[in-house]
Structure 1
């Protein structure tokens, strides 16, 4: 109570973790090694409604931008026709796997 030293919370967490590890490995379980770059996550680290909405809008623009690029339009013409600026066009191209023409 009053006047008694309080236990260190960090030490109690470490002790509890060590007990859990001893119980896990003591029962015959083994640690599983996961290869670098492999995870159970399907999406990226950002999972917000806004970023999903923006991605959906970019996906709607992508076919038109790709069509313009494939037809031989310059980068400036393709951006004007699709109604996007250069940075957004680059992002759309990167996300959808096509290459934009270089700027002369």
Structure 2
């Protein structure tokens, strides 16, 4: 309305929040403490279909790279044999829990 002072947005937000807190605790609910570092969020790739597709492609190559790593093949040669860069071979090794000798 014209001529009527409007409440400050911050004050109305605080009032609304206090009202919701009163409803929450008034219903008998309590606060849960979540341990540090624990959450329901995924780390790393955000779970998009594109990243899932790339991961599936890397998983197809992983057994061959693991064989080469266990045979003592250096990462650069193993990557070259599989037709990829050494950086990608290291990523696949890290994701699948094996290491190259050098």
Q: Distance in 2 between matches of 1:90 and 1:4?
A: 67
Give the superposed CA RMSD: 1.8
Higher mean C-alpha deviation, range 43-52 or range 59-68: 43-52
Number of residue pairs aligned between Structure 1 and Structure 2: 101
Identify the residue that residue 52 of structure 1 maps to in structure 2: 52
Per the normalisation by structure 1, the TM-score is 0.82
Gaps of at least 5 residues in structure 1 are none
Give a deviation string over 1:1-49, Cα, whole Å, max 9, x none.
23433322232222111111112123322101111222234x4361322
Secondary structure of residue in 1 paired with 2:23: helix
Per the normalisation by structure 2, the TM-score is 0.83
